[in-house]
Amino acid sequence: MATTYTGPVIPAAIEPLISQRAKDLLQKVWDFVDTECIPAEALFHHQISTDPAKRWASYPQIIEELKEKAKKAGLWNLWLHKGYKEGPGLTNVEYALMAEIMGRAGHVAPEAMNCAAPDTGNMEVFAKYGNDAQKKQWLVPLMNGEIRSAFAMTERFISSSDATNIQTSIRREGDEYVINGNKWWISGAGDPRCKIYIVMGKTDAGNPNPHKQQSIVLVPAGTPGVNIVRPMHIMGYDDAPHGHMEMTFTNVRVPVSNLVLGEGRGFEIIQGRLGPGRIHHCMRTIGVAERALELMLRRLTDPTRKTFGKMIGEHGTVQADVAESRMEIDSARFMVLNAAHMIDLHDAKSALREIGMAKIICPSMALRVIDRAQQAYGAEGICQDTVLPNLWTHVRTLRYADGPDEVHRAQVAKLEMRRAKAVVQKIEEQERRSAMLLGQKAKL
Amino acid sequence: MATTYTGPVIPAAIEPLISQRAKDLLQKVWDFVDTECIPAEALFHHQISTDPAKRWASYPQIIEELKEKAKKAGLWNLWLHKGYKEGPGLTNVEYALMAEIMGRAGHVAPEAMNCAAPDTGNMEVFAKYGNDAQKKQWLVPLMNGEIRSAFAMTERFISSSDATNIQTSIRREGDEYVINGNKWWISGAGDPRCKIYIVMGKTDAGNPNPHKQQSIVLVPAGTPGVNIVRPMHIMGYDDAPHGHMEMTFTNVRVPVSNLVLGEGRGFEIIQGRLGPGRIHHCMRTIGVAERALELMLRRLTDPTRKTFGKMIGEHGTVQADVAESRMEIDSARFMVLNAAHMIDLHDAKSALREIGMAKIICPSMALRVIDRAQQAYGAEGICQDTVLPNLWTHVRTLRYADGPDEVHRAQVAKLEMRRAKAVVQKIEEQERRSAMLLGQKAKL
Amino acid sequence: MATTYTGPVIPAAIEPLISQRAKDLLQKVWDFVDTECIPAEALFHHQISTDPAKRWASYPQIIEELKEKAKKAGLWNLWLHKGYKEGPGLTNVEYALMAEIMGRAGHVAPEAMNCAAPDTGNMEVFAKYGNDAQKKQWLVPLMNGEIRSAFAMTERFISSSDATNIQTSIRREGDEYVINGNKWWISGAGDPRCKIYIVMGKTDAGNPNPHKQQSIVLVPAGTPGVNIVRPMHIMGYDDAPHGHMEMTFTNVRVPVSNLVLGEGRGFEIIQGRLGPGRIHHCMRTIGVAERALELMLRRLTDPTRKTFGKMIGEHGTVQADVAESRMEIDSARFMVLNAAHMIDLHDAKSALREIGMAKIICPSMALRVIDRAQQAYGAEGICQDTVLPNLWTHVRTLRYADGPDEVHRAQVAKLEMRRAKAVVQKIEEQERRSAMLLGQKAKL
Amino acid sequence: MATTYTGPVIPAAIEPLISQRAKDLLQKVWDFVDTECIPAEALFHHQISTDPAKRWASYPQIIEELKEKAKKAGLWNLWLHKGYKEGPGLTNVEYALMAEIMGRAGHVAPEAMNCAAPDTGNMEVFAKYGNDAQKKQWLVPLMNGEIRSAFAMTERFISSSDATNIQTSIRREGDEYVINGNKWWISGAGDPRCKIYIVMGKTDAGNPNPHKQQSIVLVPAGTPGVNIVRPMHIMGYDDAPHGHMEMTFTNVRVPVSNLVLGEGRGFEIIQGRLGPGRIHHCMRTIGVAERALELMLRRLTDPTRKTFGKMIGEHGTVQADVAESRMEIDSARFMVLNAAHMIDLHDAKSALREIGMAKIICPSMALRVIDRAQQAYGAEGICQDTVLPNLWTHVRTLRYADGPDEVHRAQVAKLEMRRAKAVVQKIEEQERRSAMLLGQKAKL
């Protein structure tokens, strides 16, 4: 890589996995993010009202303009991998590289290209598990970027990382399901364009199999009994108007046709929703880290920021920080791309260990990289004059979202320790041979 | 990867780079290491005399037996990559995977397959820079495994990581070079089969270009004036009979025909010697880490080692150690393989940053992995009853050998910071667009 | 310490330094913080308007109520150490223990007891360097808690950690100083009760001695030409109505009698302001860490938060986190108390190394402790439902405020390396003796 | 502390705990270690035979000479703290400071002053639990430095960190105990002067209380049936002639009068043996770290070791290493001294948490400090030309000896978590008050 290169990164050893078409598209994604999305960030934030009364009532207009541009440029629904005929037919590895670039402008770019969470995961739910009517009503406008959606699973007062703890009740009454429960951290539910909630709850709380108790039903925005209580803040940010909302569902009634897949199949659906989505999160996080490192490079070489006669980047410890960041980013990227390729080769279940490792590695890595950049910027690195504090904060949530590091680490360990039996057999066989050799030779 | 799999690892995303022939060969290397080399380790150490008088006089016979087996099995000189017609024509990536396996039995396997340092690097010197006579006299028997060799560069009392500091004098007198100097840590010079020293020194100490002062000459073992002073110990090990020797050269005379390449070209030669060798070291280190993790898995699941009612592997912190080790090994492997592929695509110089990163990452990673295994084994992990202390000690030397981590980290930082100018231009352009957008919209 | 103890901590080895009177006062501080301040936090935040128009116009009334209580209880101006007759006559070590307790309720407790930054440092400036008129006008109402103050030093666009970089101009015109400059991160300047800015700038920019160029002048709030531009945000928080403000000074005129100490003596003043203040920051940070650990203990033992059948605190890795936190907090506390005692014995200058070490250690330590608590709380640990994100954010600023870690670390290294000469002499003498012994014995 | 100071360290905040007499003695210990012990190290190692036949047959004569000097100087049995009338009457804190100094020359200084493990612990066993005859026969010559002793507890094939796992059988037959078992890592048992083994085994393996099964009996060296199998190596060192030996006891018979304290009281004895001994280990480790840092300072300022134009100590990352080392050493010392003071105030049991923390912190800290010094020395830091590899290796054993870090960390966590109940009550009370305040004010 030439030292003046600033475009998308395809690691040399990965390149054989990337088609020329994907490379071309990747470059287009880069250009769009670089020249349209990042420059639009300031305006995006400017268009969010600071008036509490209006803050959640409209969405920055710039997003719609970017969506139009992206559609025209063919940069739309790129996340729909080979399995879906509606998409551009990229592999998970190919799209992962694009997700990285989108992550560089995380508030703007993914949505501009209709590749933003939670919609991507929700669209997968509709595509994989929805019936034709559900697809027509919700998947089509989602894929067109006409509406947005939310996935209402996590609840207050319980440990949601163990989904069997979920308490929301979905009770059938005649041709309706009646939903009662409290949900929080429902991302995107603050958005005035959010028209559909995909709600998880228990239809059969007494089922002896704890993975058969849950079901998923569709609740249109505005259904009576749905109440948005408040936005949850992350480290002082409310992420308006997207938002991560606390919601209550009080005797909310929807027709039984709003059930997805079948009663008791909620677990199956959330499992199917996770794999590629985790890859997307990881790659966006890598994009965040790359952007933070670029901002750091800028500060390090800023001739107006000398301390004690040296530019910041001339200090040895800061250089060590740069090197560490480069190594950590590059290492993490391989781990994610390898997991993506495992999904391409087999499926998400076969890539459980690899996805888990990527999920653990990326957020912590990016937090360290951003922190070093922030430290180089001093006070400026922690305030509204750089994107760094916002980047840091959003990455921080990924250390617990969708399962805390600790849970995933235990899972990786468990999978690794399954090898123990075969390993021990091999070592014992080696020891037998070793003893035999020693005995033979001792005789001579 | 099936959870009972214990064979060679080819990361999924790398597999397209590996030919079927290399895969077959890799499996053969695995089998040879697994069933021949590791079981031979105990005998290897048993065949080294503890009598100080005999300790350096002979070499364990088992090695010669393994060499015969390896030759017959076609597992010989595998390191000779595609550029050399004498070898099996593997890419650097393909051989790297084999080096990893050899590293699992580091005292035995590399030499058994004639792939051991420092001979591989020395053979490259002969092959790339030697004249026909030199090749005939030294390269042929080295490639046949008939003799061994040493590279005499590092010196006492100076910082050898900066090779311009070297003091040994090589003075021409008529048709001879006269060599005077003190060398230490000359690995392999203790071996009674070592027949040739490749010696670096200064033929032109006054040359204003500090990189033109050095030359390389060949000194056959037994030349008058060569004295082996003592073995250097590493953490209590003397590595007999291979050894890392302190040597003196006192008025040692060799014919001028023993000069390699030309006067003042010593630097050129050592530069050319380094790239792939570093990859080999890194991959062997990864093999060491994998072996340590396997040994750890054994202890963790040993039902006779319960503490406080649990097997060691049932403790959460130990499981976290296992997961960390798996993640660190896998990450490091990608970094090395990518560097190897960069060499395959271009050359070692183009892969400077990637090689440097691998060189920094692997030893520290392996030390952490081994240390966790040692900690699981308690006292047993630090004594002669496991290979772990020996593995740890040899990996430890790689944190300073061939340049300490600190130097390589500074080098990686320097290369990364070369991007700063282009990055700053890009960011400034983004800011111009951002301001324009804000201005435009503000007007509306 | 009994295992059910939850009061103030006096480490056993430090206890001889603490008088009985200080112990009694410490217990009173604990009780006040525990029963008055922490319970008042929610109301404090509730009393801050979310209406942008009113947010900076008033201060939570609860603070004034707490101030009254604290005054009555004799918990007022405790920071005024033995050197000041106006205070309670505590040593720095004794007050440090109290600062720790106040740090537990950092937004409320320090101010309630008139021990809050930046007022404490500013009062020291008036007490040590102010003339009688300045003391009467500003020190008296500050000590009475009638007004608040700000210290206007740091500037945008320069590296303020090197104070010679400061650009603000203070030009004498007749009997007035004319001030022009841009300041930011002026903490407390948002508070409507803030009546005085202590402003640093250059009266003699051409002085060849860069430490003689600066002076300090007093600028009353409301002086024409003073403009508060905006609040700086830290990770999404604006800290209203205290605030960290960007300000401009445009042809601001004050009488020459507003000069403190003398022209060119600005550096002297800021040096004198730092020592004990850093100790206070450190100890408050330790209080923050203790509080975070307590909150963590609560979550770990919450029976409603089981995951995979265990309370969070039953997981081994989480227990390891608890142990690490306890060890890190206790270690850090000793380092700060030792520095405080060095100030008591000598002065802040003699304690330069110890203060520097405490300054480096405490914020990073507390960030790790808080982060572990946050991780135990999951999403709740990062949102407005716990104090944890707010604690984390404010501690984060201490890694760069008043000099980044990197600068202090270099300073500590420099002081440590001053020992090198004497150490080398000693080692060389030992080596001479060692050689002599070896020689003597070899002769026998 | 003046920057040229190189003597013993008494942290300022600890000084009130140290009597003038102890300060004087501490200085004498320093002088003895500095001018006698460290210079004697080379000769000590020189006097150990490399001939396997003689290696374990004699002990370096220099030690006896140093013992004479130490006795004359009143530097003898300093470890006998206030509880023992035979000693100098130091507190544990006072002696701890001396142990630190002795640790700087760990192979030589502790024994020269009759303060070496395992004898100190063994002498405590005799003093606390021995009867008069046992004291006369063994304690007197041990206190005179006429013989040495070993403590035979740990066994192969079991996890000795859980002492209930011990298998050695001590069976009564008439007036004799018959001992059968395998022991390893019996430190000091290689020493030809070692005359007594204190052996732990089971007299009542069927006792339902697992802590009542063990007893301690005395086995004089040379008793028939005692066999020293081999020395255990630590990272390549055999520590001859002290040694860490594997031993077998085969039908070893001793009179019943050799029982210590009583049958079934083995656990009681080993518990009583541990507390102060752990403090000694910790403080010696701190001495090791200080010495390593001094050696590092030497290398950093060595003008002959320039790389890339700078002395090693002029590189910023190396300076950061120095600062980290200083901070870590100082922090650790406080933690140990505080634990020692807790023992002085109460007893070892009351200091369980503090001792545990010190036990975890010190070895890891010292390993990091030594590692940084080694890295500064390059190859020299890992070979026999510096003491660094030997220091590192012996400290490494302390991470598992006497319980691995993991076990102690779990213990510290357990003690900390005992506070949870009281903490939760306090927090809940605060929340009640908080709600009340919010309610009250809301009404207004």
pLDDT at residue B129 tops 70: yes
Q: What is the ipTM of this complex?
A: 0.95
Q: Is A378 close to C161, i.e. CB distance below 8 A?
A: yes
pLDDT at residue D2 tops 60: no
Chain D hits for C415, Cβ within 8 Å: 3
Please give the helix or strand (H or E) that residue A325 lies within, else none.
helix A316-345
Question: Over the stretch C368-382, which tens digit does the pLDDT of each residue have?
Answer: 999 999 999 999 999
Chain A hits for C157, Cβ within 8 Å: 304
For residue D236, the distance in angstroms to the closest alpha carbon of chain B comes to 4
Structure confidence at residue A1 (pLDDT): 47
- Assess whether the previous peptide bond of C210 is cis (omega < 30° from 0): no
Which of B423, B434, B440 to probe the A interface (max A CBs under 10 A)? B423
Using CB atoms, pick whichever of A41, A297, A437 lies closest to residue B417: A297
Please give the mean pLDDT across all residues of chain C: 94
**φ/ψ (deg, to 5) at D57:** -95, -20
CATH superfamily of C268-417: Butyryl-CoA Dehydrogenase, subunit A, domain 3 (1.20.140.10)
- Domain residues of chain A, as ranges? 12-147, 149-260, 268-403, 404-444
Bridge partners, A220 (sequence order): A196
Q: Is C381 close to A400, i.e. CB distance below 8 A?
A: yes
Q: Report which of A268, A267, A328, A266 is spatially closest to residue A292, judged by C-alpha positions.
A: A328
Rounded CA-CA distance A112/A30 in Å is 13
Q: Is D236 close to B232, i.e. CB distance below 8 A?
A: no
pTM of the full structure: 0.96
Chain C hits for D326, Cβ within 8 Å: 353, 357, 412-413, 416
The CATH classification of domain D268-402, taken from the options 1.20.1250.20, 2.40.50.140, 2.40.50.180, 1.20.140.10: 1.20.140.10
Interface B–C counts its CB contacts (< 8 A) at 16
Q: Report which of D127, D32, D117 is spatially closest to residue D398, judged by C-alpha positions.
A: D117
Rounded CA-CA distance A221/A196 in Å is 5
**A313: nearest CA in chain D?**
D316
Work out whether strand B214-220 and strand B194-202 pair parallel, antiparallel, or are unpaired: antiparallel
Q: Give the whole-number percent of chain C exceeding pLDDT 70.
A: 99
pLDDT at residue C18 tops 90: yes
What stretches of A45-193 adopt beta strand conformation (E)? 148-152, 169-173, 176-187
Structure confidence at residue D206 (pLDDT): 94
Tell me the two tokens of residue B320. 């976290």
Which of D44, D419, D436 to probe the C interface (max C CBs under 10 A)? D419
Please give the helix or strand (H or E) that residue A216 lies within, else none.
strand A214-220
Contacts for D126 with CB less than 8 Å, ≥ 6 apart: D134, D135, D138, D139, D142
Structure confidence at residue A83 (pLDDT): 77
pLDDT at residue B307 tops 80: no
* Confidence band for B163, pLDDT divided at 50, 70 and 90: confident
DSSP secondary structure letters along C169-235:
EEEEETTEEEEEEEEEEEETTTSTTEEEEEEEEES-TT-SSTTSSEEEEEEETT-TTEEEEEEPPBT
pLDDT at residue B218 tops 90: yes
Q: Is B46 close to A441, i.e. CB distance below 8 A?
A: yes
**C319: nearest CA in chain B?**
B317
Q: Is C161 close to A305, i.e. CB distance below 8 A?
A: no
Q: Is D382 close to B234, i.e. CB distance below 8 A?
A: yes
Q: Is A378 close to C396, i.e. CB distance below 8 A?
A: no
Rounded CA-CA distance B146/B123 in Å is 13
Partners of chain A (3+ Cβ pairs below 8 A): B, C, D
- Assess whether the previous peptide bond of B241 is cis (omega < 30° from 0): yes
Q: Report which of A68, A79, A70, A90 is spatially closest to residue A23, judged by C-alpha positions.
A: A90
Cα angle B229-B232-B234, degrees, rounded to a multiple of 5: 175
Exposure string of A229-259, with b = 16+ CB inside 10 Å and e = fewer, is eebbbbbbbbbbbbbbbbbbbeebbbeeebb
Q: Report which of B310, B308, B309, B328 is spatially closest to residue B373, judged by C-alpha positions.
A: B328
CA distances from B359 to A325, A328, B281, D379 (A): 16, 14, 8, 17
Secondary structure class of A149 (helix, strand, coil): strand
Question: Over the stretch D390-424, which tens digit does the pLDDT of each residue have?
Answer: 999 999 999 999 889 998 999 999 999 999 999 99
CA distances from A107 to A37, A44, A60, A116 (A): 9, 9, 11, 9
Contacts for D56 with CB less than 8 Å, ≥ 6 apart: D190, D192, D231, D240, D241, D243
Query: Has domain D149-260 been given CATH number 3.40.1280.10?
Result: no
Structure confidence at residue A443 (pLDDT): 62
Interface B–D counts its CB contacts (< 8 A) at 128
Question: Over the stretch A270-297, which tens digit does the pLDDT of each residue have?
Answer: 987 877 889 999 999 999 999 999 999 9
pLDDT at residue A14 tops 70: yes
Contacts for A375 with CB less than 8 Å, ≥ 6 apart: A321, A381, C399, C400, C404, C405, C406
Q: What value does the mean pLDDT take over residues C96-110?
A: 97
Q: Is A422 close to B313, i.e. CB distance below 8 A?
A: no
For residue B325, the distance in angstroms to the closest alpha carbon of chain C comes to 16
CA C354 to chain centre: 16
Question: Over the stretch B239-270, which tens digit does the pLDDT of each residue have?
Answer: 999 999 999 999 999 999 999 999 999 999 99
For residue D264, the distance in angstroms to the closest alpha carbon of chain A comes to 38
Report the CATH fold assignment for B12-147: Butyryl-Coa Dehydrogenase, subunit A; domain 1 (1.10.540)
Q: Is C320 close to B315, i.e. CB distance below 8 A?
A: no
Contacts for A286 with CB less than 8 Å, ≥ 6 apart: A100, A103, A329, A332, A333, A336, A362, A366
CATH superfamily of C12-146: Acyl-CoA dehydrogenase/oxidase, N-terminal domain (1.10.540.10)
Can you list the alpha helix ranges (DSSP code H) found in C34-91? 38-46, 61-72
Work out whether strand C214-220 and strand B244-255 pair parallel, antiparallel, or are unpaired: unpaired
* Confidence band for D444, pLDDT divided at 50, 70 and 90: low
Secondary structure class of D363 (helix, strand, coil): helix
* Confidence band for C103, pLDDT divided at 50, 70 and 90: very high
Q: What is the DSSP letter of D115?
A: -
* Confidence band for B3, pLDDT divided at 50, 70 and 90: low
Q: What value does the mean pLDDT take over residues A421-439?
A: 95
pLDDT at residue A132 tops 90: yes
Question: Over the stretch D207-220, which tens digit does the pLDDT of each residue have?
Answer: 999 999 999 999 99
Which of A283, A325, A423, A432 to probe the B interface (max B CBs under 10 A)? A423
Q: What value does the mean pLDDT take over residues C299-322?
A: 90
Cα angle A359-A364-A369, degrees, rounded to a multiple of 5: 130
Q: Which residues of A touch D (CB under 8 A)?
A: 315-320
Q: Give the whole-number percent of chain D exceeding pLDDT 90.
A: 86
Secondary structure class of D3 (helix, strand, coil): coil
**B400: nearest CA in chain D?**
D378
Residue B301, phi-psi category: left (phi > 0), alpha (psi -120 to 50), beta (remainder): alpha
Structure confidence at residue D272 (pLDDT): 78
For residue B335, the distance in angstroms to the closest alpha carbon of chain D comes to 24
Rounded CA-CA distance A231/A241 in Å is 9
**How many Cβ atoms are within 10 Å of C189's Cβ, its own excluded?**
27
Q: Is D320 close to A317, i.e. CB distance below 8 A?
A: yes
Work out whether strand A194-202 and strand A148-152 pair parallel, antiparallel, or are unpaired: parallel
Question: Over the stretch A32-52, which tens digit does the pLDDT of each residue have?
Answer: 999 999 999 999 999 999 888
Structure confidence at residue A4 (pLDDT): 72
**C313: nearest CA in chain B?**
B316
Tell me the two tokens of residue B230. 């003592």
Chain A hits for B42, Cβ within 8 Å: 434-435, 437-438
Question: Over the stretch B375-398, which tens digit does the pLDDT of each residue have?
Answer: 999 999 999 999 999 999 999 999
Chain D hits for B317, Cβ within 8 Å: 406, 409
* Confidence band for B273, pLDDT divided at 50, 70 and 90: confident
Please give the mean pLDDT across all residues of chain B: 94
**φ/ψ (deg, to 5) at A85:** -75, -20
Question: Over the stretch B408-436, which tens digit does the pLDDT of each residue have?
Answer: 999 999 999 999 999 999 999 999 999 99
Which of A307, A314, A317, A324 to probe the D interface (max D CBs under 10 A)? A317
Q: What value does the mean pLDDT take over residues A233-243?
A: 95
Rounded CA-CA distance D9/B269 in Å is 51
Through-space distance between the first and last CA atoms of chain A, rounded to whole angstroms: 59
Q: Is D379 close to B392, i.e. CB distance below 8 A?
A: no
Q: What is the CATH number of domain B268-405?
A: 1.20.140.10
Cα angle B125-B126-B129, degrees, rounded to a multiple of 5: 70
Asked if A358 contacts A337 with a C-beta cutoff of 8 angstroms, the reply is no
Rounded CA-CA distance C287/A196 in Å is 45
Q: What value does the mean pLDDT take over residues A188-194?
A: 97
Cα angle D76-D77-D79, degrees, rounded to a multiple of 5: 130
Structure confidence at residue D1 (pLDDT): 47
Question: Over the stretch A207-224, which tens digit does the pLDDT of each residue have?
Answer: 999 999 999 999 999 999
**A297: nearest CA in chain B?**
B420
Q: What is the CATH number of domain A268-403?
A: 1.20.140.10
Bridge partners, D216 (sequence order): D200
Rounded CA-CA distance A332/B118 in Å is 32
Work out whether strand D148-152 and strand D194-202 pair parallel, antiparallel, or are unpaired: parallel
Q: Is D406 close to B234, i.e. CB distance below 8 A?
A: no
Which of D48, D314, D326 to probe the C interface (max C CBs under 10 A)? D326
Q: What value does the mean pLDDT take over residues B207-216?
A: 95
**C317: nearest CA in chain A?**
A406
Q: Is A397 close to C383, i.e. CB distance below 8 A?
A: no
Q: Give the whole-number percent of chain C exceeding pLDDT 90.
A: 86
* Confidence band for A403, pLDDT divided at 50, 70 and 90: confident
pLDDT at residue C325 tops 80: yes
Rounded CA-CA distance C171/C17 in Å is 48
Question: Over the stretch C426-435, which tens digit does the pLDDT of each residue have?
Answer: 999 999 999 9
Tell me the two tokens of residue D63. 């030690």
Q: Is B41 close to A434, i.e. CB distance below 8 A?
A: yes
pLDDT at residue C128 tops 60: yes
CA A424 to chain centre: 38
Asked if C103 contacts C288 with a C-beta cutoff of 8 angstroms, the reply is yes
Q: Is B162 close to D401, i.e. CB distance below 8 A?
A: no
Contacts for A2 with CB less than 8 Å, ≥ 6 apart: none
Per the model's pLDDT, the better-predicted residue between A28 and B307 turns out to be A28
Which of B230, B235, B367, B406 to probe the D interface (max D CBs under 10 A)? B235
